[in-house]
Each structure stands twice: as structure tokens, then as C-alpha cells.
Chain A
Amino acid sequence: MEDNVLEIRGVRKRYPGFAMRDVDLVVPTGHVTGLIGPNGAGKTTLVKLVMNLITREAGEIDVFGLDNLLHEAAVKARIGFVYDEPSFPHDVNARDLGRAIGPFYKGWSSERYRRLLGEFGVPERKRFKALSKGMQMKLALAIALAHDADLLLMDEPTAGLDLEFRRDLLEHLAAILEDERKSVLFSTHVTSDLERFADFITLIRDGEIVFSLPTSDLRDAWGVVRGAADVLDHLDAPDVRGVRTGPNGVEALVANASLARRRCGPEVVIDRPSLDDVLVLMTRGDSYVESH
């Protein structure tokens, strides 16, 4: 079994007004990798590139150690995917979908599918058009989870879903990950879903990967310094990843909280950053700071 379920190397893709250049990313097997970034940063583009819905202009993408173009069918047979806007013909219902799709996947279990539909509360005979957006997403999730996929590739799977269901979903994912051969790539802007649950966090911004780190580094080693504007003078510039100036002073994201503590003294407030802090300070800060 490979160390990395997904490896993206030197990938390029351009659209009018957007460019993705030399993107490298690995998703380790047996873990949850969260992909965060502002809208338009390239999260969906990455997912589409892996599924070959769009063609890459350069670079390589390996899934399960296989090139995703040369072994397209073999690779996709083991991927459970959820896109941010599930689309199916309007007059189709969940039962039809199950019957139509099942034969494509070796690991498909109609029993598991129906159980998931039941658990998620998706009516089996209702037409797709008649389902609420949340229900449509739950249907897509049920399909993705029904065939025992080795990689779950999810793009905003919880958008529009209530907290209770999101917890439910995380429990399902946690159960799946008890098997160390299963992996998840979870792209979202609802960072709270990832806080405790993701093993690695990758931040993408303007088509570039800014960092890919263990979540524990972000939560335990990084910090958010809050104070008056002069607090910035005490901090080591390379350490500062993002700054935001507001009416009440300054917020600075630092990669080494204990160092910052030593520099700034005991009075300055230094908190553990939430993923939201990281996202906001690194993508909507006063200026982008070069990361190493």
C-alpha cells in the first residue's frame, strides 16, 4: 500500500482570470486531509483535475500509485466523490440511481446504500427535482459512501447541511478511517468541521498551495497575537504569516507561538488559532507574507 493515496506534481491549469501553476500536493494514506481556501482559490479545480473532469496542462497526478489518465477506470473505481453541486436528471429518484450506478463498482452494496439513505432521511422514491438542496447533497453522500471506496474525495460536502447532520457525517467518516487503508480529502470553507478531525490541512490561495501541515502544528505551535500595532515590532518577520489591522488593534498569525510569547512578554494576548483564524489571516490579511 502506498504512503500517499494521492500525489499531485507540478500541475498547471489556466482559465481566464485564474492560473494554477506548479501545484504540488500529497494526501497521505489512512488520514484525513482538509483543503481550505477562499472561494475561487482552486479547491474545486483541484478536485476536478484529480477526477479528470478537466484536463491538466502539465504535471502528473497519481492516485493509489497509478497515473489518473493512464488508469482512469481503475482509479475511479476506488474513489467515492461528492461535488459541491450534485446534479442528476430531474425525474430520477434515489432508487433508480442506485440501480443504475451499482454495477459500476465492485464494492457496491445496495443494502448499505439503502441503509445510508434511511439514516440520512432521503426518500427513495422522490424525484431528484423535488428534493431540497440538503437532501440532494445527502443523496450524493450516500452514493459516495455506498461502494466502500478507498479514497473519499469531497468538495464542500457539508454546504447547506445542518450541524446535526454534519456531526453524523463526521462519525461515518471516523468509522471508515478506522481502516488504515482508507483516506479522505475534504475541501471546505466550513473550517469547524475540520478542526479536530483532519490530520493535515492544506491551504490553497490564488491557485497556489500555501502550506500543507499537520493540524496539530497549526493548533499547537502556531498562535494568534492580539495587541496594539506596536506589537508587530517585537515579532520576527519571517514568522508572521498574516496580519490584520482593525479598530481595536492588530491580529498577527505567527508560526511559532512560544517564540512570540518570549518576544512579547506576558501581557500580550496569544491564543491558539482556530482554522478560521488561519484562513482569514492568511487570505484576507493586510498583506500576504511569504511563507517558506
Chain B
Amino acid sequence: MWNLIRKDLILGHRTLIVNGSMALVAPFILLLPDEPPPVILYVLYVGLMCTMLPVGLIAKEEKFSATAFTCSLPMTRRDIVTSRYLGGWFIAGGSMAVVLALGLTVGAVRDLWSDGASGGLLAGFVILGLTIAIVIPFTIRFGMNGLLFGLVGLQVLGMVMFLLALATGGLDAVERAVKTAVDAVGSYHEGVGPIGFAATVILGVAVLNWLSWKASLRIFRTRDL
């Protein structure tokens, strides 16, 4: 398993360095406007950029038809899929920790963190877990193209649903529904306290990842290369 992750790191180290450098620099752009963003937004942004690192590696392999080579190595398809998840968490999580830590060297960033650090960390974990869980099955099946199609598709879906909402109940209904959901989450938070809430969220992300892993196993097991 670790051989696979090591292989991806060795074969992709140039891509990682390039994309990683971008991940390092980009968050500071958030600090440019006068009004600094809430720390959660900052963390979400960093999280997204860092998750793209392992996803980019998978996509690159797909692009060059090198997946056939990986699947010819003495590993099962199951091993390969699992290594994508473990590697994903390892690379994305690791780079995220590095970027966030480096960010703390800048005064403006430290200020951001002063208000709601724990929320920020939890948000980081969530964005990592969500993106990995959603993106990996897509990329495993369709590569980078599939990923782009997926993202565009999601946007189109969003627009269609928006239009539908407009046509049927009007935006009010949607607004009410969203408010109800947010309120529910809020009251849950109050009910179980911050630790309980965090625990629930972490569990949720874990379950989501597990489901995603199962889905990827099925997708990849019978995929013809």
C-alpha cells in the first residue's frame, strides 16, 4: 500500500511541487481586500487547493494512460483504490497542515485565527473529507476530463434547480428550507455542545469517506483499461 503512495509521490513530485507552490501562495490573496474573510473561508480555500494535489496526481496518470501500468504492478485493484484514499488524506492533509502553519507566520493570518480557531480546524477537516469523498470516485472512473465534466455538471444542476425553485414555489420556499436546515444544525450544536458537534461532524465525514471508498472499489474493480 505504501509502495503505491511512494510511487505516486516519486512519479508526481514535479507536479506536486508546482501545484503545491500555488497552494502555498494563493491563500494570501484572500488577505488583500480591506475586510479580511472569516477564518473558515480561509481554511476552506486552503483545503480545496490542497485536495487538488492528490486528485491532480490521479488525473495526470489517467491523462497519460499510465493507469494500465499501475494496474499491472503486483497489486490488486482494491489496493490501488485504497491507496488513493490514504494517499489523498496523507498528501492533502499534510500539505494543508504545512500551508496553514506557514500562514501563521504572517501577522494578518494570525489575526484571522484569533476568532474561531476550532471552527476553522473543523472546517478544514470537513472540506478535506468532503472533497476527497466526492472527487475521487469521479476521477477514478473518468480522469481529469470526468472531473471537469462533473464540476460543470454540478453547476448546471445548481442552475436548473434554482430555475425550478423560481418556477414552482419561488425563492421564498428555498430560503425557508435553507434557514430551517441552518437552524436545525445550530440547535443541534447548542444541544450537544461544541465537542459533541465536532464528534458528529467527524463521524459524518468518516462515514461519507467509507461510502465513497466502497463506491470507488466497485467502479474500479471492473473497469476495462
Interface residues of A (CB under 8 A from B): 48, 51-55, 72-77, 79, 81, 83, 85-92, 96-97, 99-101, 103-105
Known: A87-B64, A91-B15. A52 touches B10 (CB 8 A): no
Tell me which of B14, B79, B224 contacts A55 (CB under 8 A). Answer: B224
Q: Is the CB of A104 within 8 A of B73?
A: yes
Q: Is the CB of A77 within 8 A of B74?
A: yes
Q: Is the CB of A76 within 8 A of B73?
A: yes
Q: Is the CB of B76 within 8 A of A72?
A: yes
Q: Is the CB of B64 within 8 A of A88?
A: yes
Known: A54-B225, A76-B73, A77-B74. A100 touches B66 (CB 8 A): no
Cα–Cα, bound, A22→B117 (Å): 64
Q: Is the CB of B74 within 8 A of A76?
A: yes
Q: Tell me the interface secondary structure of chain B in the complex.
A: helix
CB distance from A157 to the nearest CB of B (A): 14
CB distance from B181 to the nearest CB of A (A): 42
Residues of A within 8 Å of B77, CB to CB, are 72
Residues of B within 8 Å of A87, CB to CB, are 64-66, 68-69
Q: Is the CB of A89 within 8 A of B74?
A: no
B114 interface residue, CB < 8 Å from A? no
Cα–Cα, bound, A104→B4 (Å): 9
B71 interface residue, CB < 8 Å from A? yes
Known: A91-B15, A96-B11, A100-B11. A73 touches B76 (CB 8 A): yes
Cα–Cα, bound, A228→B149 (Å): 63
B222 interface residue, CB < 8 Å from A? yes
Cα–Cα, bound, A73→B60 (Å): 24
Tell me which of B61, B72, B222 contacts A76 (CB under 8 A). Answer: B72
Q: Is the CB of B64 within 8 A of A100?
A: no
Tell me which of A77, A81, A83, A92 contacts B11 (CB under 8 A). Answer: A92
Q: Which residue of A lies closest to B3 (CB)?
A: A103
Kindly identify, within residues 1 to 15 of chain B, every residue whose CB is under 8 Å from any CB belonging to chain A: 3, 6-7, 10-15
Q: Is the CB of A73 within 8 A of B10?
A: no
CB distance from B224 to the nearest CB of A (A): 4
Residues of B within 8 Å of A53, CB to CB, are 68, 71-72, 224-225
Question: Which of B10, B69, B225: most chain A Cβ within 10 A?
Answer: B69
Cα–Cα, bound, A85→B225 (Å): 13
Question: Which of A52, A54, A100: most chain B Cβ within 10 A?
Answer: A100
Residues of A within 8 Å of B3, CB to CB, are 103-104
Residues of A within 8 Å of B225, CB to CB, are 48, 53-54
13 A–B pairs (Cβ distance < 8 Å), ordered by A: A51-B72, A53-B224, A55-B222, A72-B75, A72-B76, A75-B74, A76-B74, A77-B74, A89-B11, A89-B12, A92-B11, A96-B13, A104-B7
Question: Which of A76, A89, A91: most chain B Cβ within 10 A?
Answer: A89
Q: Which residue of B lies closest to A76 (CB)?
A: B74
Q: Is the CB of B61 within 8 A of A104?
A: no
